[in-house]
Structures are given as C-alpha cells and as structure tokens.
Amino acid sequence: MGHPVSLRGGGSGLALFLPDDLKCRGGTAMAAIEAEKLNFTYPDADRAALSDVTFSIPSGGFYLLMGPSGSGKSTLLRLLQGEIAPHGSLSGQLHCDSPAGFVFQNPQDSLVTDSVQRELAFSPEHVGLDGAAVARRVGECAAFFHLEPLMERTTASLSGGEQQLLSLAAAMTGSPRVLLLDEPCAALDPAAEEKFLQVLLRLNRELGVTVLMSTHTPGAALAQADGVLLLRAGRCTCYDDPHAFARALRQSGDPMLQALPVGAILFDEVPLTVREAQPLAAHLRCKPAPAPQPAGKSVLTLKEICFAYEKKSADVLFRLSLTLTAGKCYGIVGANGSGKSTLLGVMAGVLKPYAGKVQRPVPTALLPQTVQYLFTRDRVDQLVQAETLQHLGITHLAARHPLDLSGGESRLVGLGMVLDTGADTLLLDEPTAGLDAGAKAQLGARLRHLCAAGKTVVLVTHDLDFAGTYSDEAAFLCNRVVTPPRPRRAFFAGMELYTTGVRRVTCRALPDAVSPEDLVL
C-alpha cells in the first residue's frame, strides 16, 4: 500500500517544486499510482464498488479516469487519497506517491477558510513552516496561478471558475507529487474550463506532477492525455493511447462515445481536436431547420427585474426582462458568476428582487445546483416515487442513502424529487453535472417528453452540447441582462465562443448545424 496522503499534501520543498527524493529516481518510469487486484465493497452493499482493478500510471503521467455514473471513479480517487478514503472492505494492493493533492468537483468542498490569502496559507501553516516560508510559498503560488488580484477577496465572493482555480492552487502549496481531481470542470463555463486545463497541463508538463482526473466530458483534455482508465461496473481497462481508447468505443458502439470530442463521434479517423476534424467535415450535410414552434401561453414573466444580494452591493440582475411560454425547453448559458443561478432563484421565488415584477401563474419547482440540500431522508425511495425512479433509470438506487451517491446519481435523485412535485415549470440548475453520456441522453429524452406534455423546462447549464441538442430556444446571460431567446440552431450558429462542438467542427462547411441530430449521417 502507498503511504497515507494528506488532503493538501505536506512536503518540505518550495511550493510547486517536487521533493528531492522524487528527483533522484534517475528518470525511470516508475509508477506513481498503481493498483493490483484491488477490491472494495461499501458496508451493506450487495456488490463490489471496485472489482479486481489493476493498472499502473507512470510518474509524470497525465491520465483521465472515465466511466458511467456510479462506476467507481470517485471511490477509487478517494481510496488513493488516504484521509478521505471511504469505509468498507478493502483487499488487494494500492499505491499512490505522497504527498498527493485532491481537488473536488465542487470547490466549496475543498475550501476551508474565508479568504484567498488564508486559503493559500492553510497547508504551509498546518505543516509548521515559519512565517517567512509561508509568505514565500503563498506569494509563489499566487504568482504562478495569477491570483494576485484576488488575494484580498473572500472565497465566497469568487466565481465558480475562480474558486476551482484557488482549490488547485491550494492543493499545490504542499508540493504534491500527484494530483487527484474528481470532475473538477463539471460546473465550469467553457472559458474557465480552458483556463483550468491550461494550468493543469503546465503543472504536469513543466513540473512533472502526475495527474489523474476523472471526467464525463474530456473535451480538449483527451488529446493532451497520456492515457485513459475506463471503469465500468467496478472493473478497469487501461488505455495508454487516447486514440486507441476512442477507436475502441467507436468500434464497439459504446454509448460513452457520445461524451468524446465530436470528431471522434462523426469520423472513423477519430480526430480529437477541432483542427483535425474541420477538414473532414466538408462532405457532411445538414437537415433543414424545423419551423418555429407557435407560442403557447405565458408561464413565467420577468419585467424590469433588479436584484442585489445586499443593499449597497452591486446589482447581479438589472432591468432584466424575459417571457417564457408553455411546452418549450429553454437553455440559458453564460459565464461563471454571470448570475444564472441567481436568475433561477428569482424565477422560483426563492430570491426577491428589489425592483421589477415576477408573474408566475403556474406551479414552479427548482432543482438547485447543490442538490444535497434537498435530501432530508435516509433512503432514496423515501425521496422519489418508484415510478419516477424507473423513468430515470435509477431503481437500483432505491435503498441507498442519498448522501452516499455519486455526483451524477445525486443529480438524478434531485431531478426525480422535482418531477414528483408535478410543477408545470421546471427550473434546472446544471442538471447534467456529473452525468455520463447515457444518462444525459436519457435525461434529454425525458425533458422532451415533459415539454410535449405541456411542461416548460429552463436549463441553466455550461453543457453547451446538451443545450444545443435538447433546448428549443436558448439565451445568453451577460452584464446583468439576458438576450431574447432564439431557436437553438440560430442561437448557437450565431455564437463564436459559447457554442457547441458540432458547430466548431462544421462552421466552415455548414450554415447552422449545432448538434449531431442536425446532420444527415
């Protein structure tokens, strides 16, 4: 077994530099992380979470950890990080170089202080460094991660992208040999995700830090990775080449293929970047855009809404107006910190604007971004009706404690609770976070069914491919106001940066294809 590892890491070298005992390995490709015949079962579980898992990741490797929701990804990462290892029955061999840093999906699970400066100082102070050494380490980390402008800010005032970057910086203050990341980009907008990945690659390429990152949507990270660990029902397959991984999914028709970059989905050559895929799009054709849906009755109207969290604080929403009609799915996209969750709170009546008017003639239900706030019972089947569990494909979770679920499983249980309210308007905050490709497709089909039955759905999401496929109309929230909703193809075809993978690949060949469903394949 590997040495126990600390949440932020210890180490005695300067921040961001590896300890001397790692450097003296002489450049050999020794394993930084490895498992042999690893088995793990949670207490009272009827099947193993991990079964006969064997793999090896060399020192300095950059590997992705993928698999369906509930396949054991979070369990494996937490076992590698000794201090947050789950309770249960463990057998086999498991090693992880220490110290190791850990970054959670939700940055609020990582942050332990109330200010940026204190967050960076926490680990150095915890291991007993003197004041001068702590100051040097904090200053170096702040400079490397470009956090100097944020040093006087509170952690609560940061955007989601800034909080996640701070979590990564705080993990690095302990000079870890290994970084373990549990879906760190799940709630980041495209720009924040790209920035986070660039910093992570610098840590790997320039400092030799070994990276193991779980993800459902690898995006640009797949082309940069050295390999992929694929977990399925607790069993592991290791691919030392991302292209081989993509080809294997394509040849087998695996549903997980839909999570890969769009070039791997569309073309036999499995290109993993937009640049590689664009020349192959010349032969594609797109279907004609459907006729616009007739407007139904109004189910939610916002008129000149102004909202701020405190009397003298800056407005988050200012003179925002929006009208939603029955039977449609609306996608609302925008940057981290732009006010999307705030907008949903105002729509739901959870937040009260200081000016403007909200008209809500039909029952409305909200799925919050942190779904655990909804869990007040000890079993899933005490929260969600049996029929709804079946519709969402999660009957196997009925007897589980909701706080023991993976991120994606928690999201589906929360969605089930919202569906059970019978509300006519459903407000969903990041509903696809933590979901695998198959679960997303099932969710999308369910939302279409609800809209066909007259329900209205509002998706606030950073998952542009999901919004580009399943929303009827989409809008962009920026500078405290929201643009008028437009049909999804017109909206995403008109965007340059906040657009879908299909649009990026086909923009030079096709006028308005934004989803695989828009293509003649």
More confident residue, 228 or 408: 228
pLDDT tens digits for 197-212? 999 999 999 999 999 9
Q: How many whole angstroms separate alpha carbon 59 and alpha carbon 178?
A: 9
Task: Return all residues near 495 (Cβ < 8 A) that are at least 6 apart.
Answer: 476, 503
Which pTM does this prediction carry? 0.86
Helix 407-420 and helix 437-452: axis angle, to 10°? 10
6 pLDDT band, cuts 50/70/90, is: very low
For the chain, the distance separating the N- and C-terminal CA atoms, rounded to the nearest angstrom, is: 50
Of 108 and 169, the structure prediction assigns the larger pLDDT to: 169
pLDDT at 190 over 90: no
- Please report, for residues 149, 283, 342, the alpha-carbon distance to residue 315 in angstroms, rounded to integers and kept in the order given: 21, 48, 11
C-alpha to C-alpha distance for 214 and 218, rounded to whole angstroms: 9
**Pair 180, 77: CB distance under 8 Å:** yes
How far is the C-alpha of 308 from the C-alpha of 289, rounded, in Å? 39
Least confident of 95-104, 155-164, 236-245, 443-452: 155-164
Which range, 139-153, 226-240, 469-483, has the best average confidence (pLDDT)? 469-483
Whether cis (ω within 30° of 0) applies to the bond prior to 368 is no
Token look-up 């039977």 returns: 327
Q: What is the pLDDT of residue 10?
A: 35
Sign of the dihedral defined by the CA atoms of residues 245, 246, 247, 252, in that order? positive
Dist. CA 404–CA 396, nearest whole Å? 13
Mean pLDDT, residues 334-360: 94
What CA–CA distance (Å, rounded) separates 490 from 28? 53
Whole-number pLDDT of residue 404: 82
Contact 328, 293 (CB under 8 A): yes
Whether 90 has a pLDDT exceeding 60, the answer reads yes
pLDDT for 362 equals 95
Contact 365, 416 (CB under 8 A): no
Contacts of 355 (CB under 8 A, 6+ apart): 304, 305, 306
In this prediction, residues 390-410 reach a mean pLDDT of 88
Radius of gyration of the chain (CA): 23
Structural domains in the chain, CATH included, are 31-266 (3.40.50.300), 298-520 (3.40.50.300)
Q: Averaged over 227-237, what is the pLDDT?
A: 91
Q: For strand 178-182 and strand 210-214, is the pairing parallel, antiparallel, or unpaired?
A: parallel
Residue 61 confidence (pLDDT): 96
Q: Would you place residue 111 in the very low, low, confident or very high pLDDT band (cuts 50, 70, 90)?
A: confident
Residues 264-302 have pLDDT tens digits of 999 999 999 999 999 999 999 999 988 887 878 999 999
Confidence category of residue 29, pLDDT binned at 50, 70, 90? low
Q: Both tokens of residue 4?
A: 């126990």
Coil, strand or helix: which one is 242?
helix
How confident is the prediction for the chain on average, in pLDDT? 89
Highest averaged pLDDT of the listed ranges 122-126, 171-175, 182-186, 462-466:
462-466
With CA atoms as reference, report the closest residue to 467 among 417, 439, 430, 436: 430
Q: Looking at the predicted structure, is the pLDDT value of residue 28 above 70?
A: no
Among 56-70, 286-300, 410-424, 488-502, whose mean pLDDT is lowest?
286-300
pLDDT of residue 469: 97
Tell me how far apart the 2 most distant CA atoms of the chain are, in Å: 71
Is the separation of the CB atoms in 90 and 39 below 8 Å?
Answer: yes
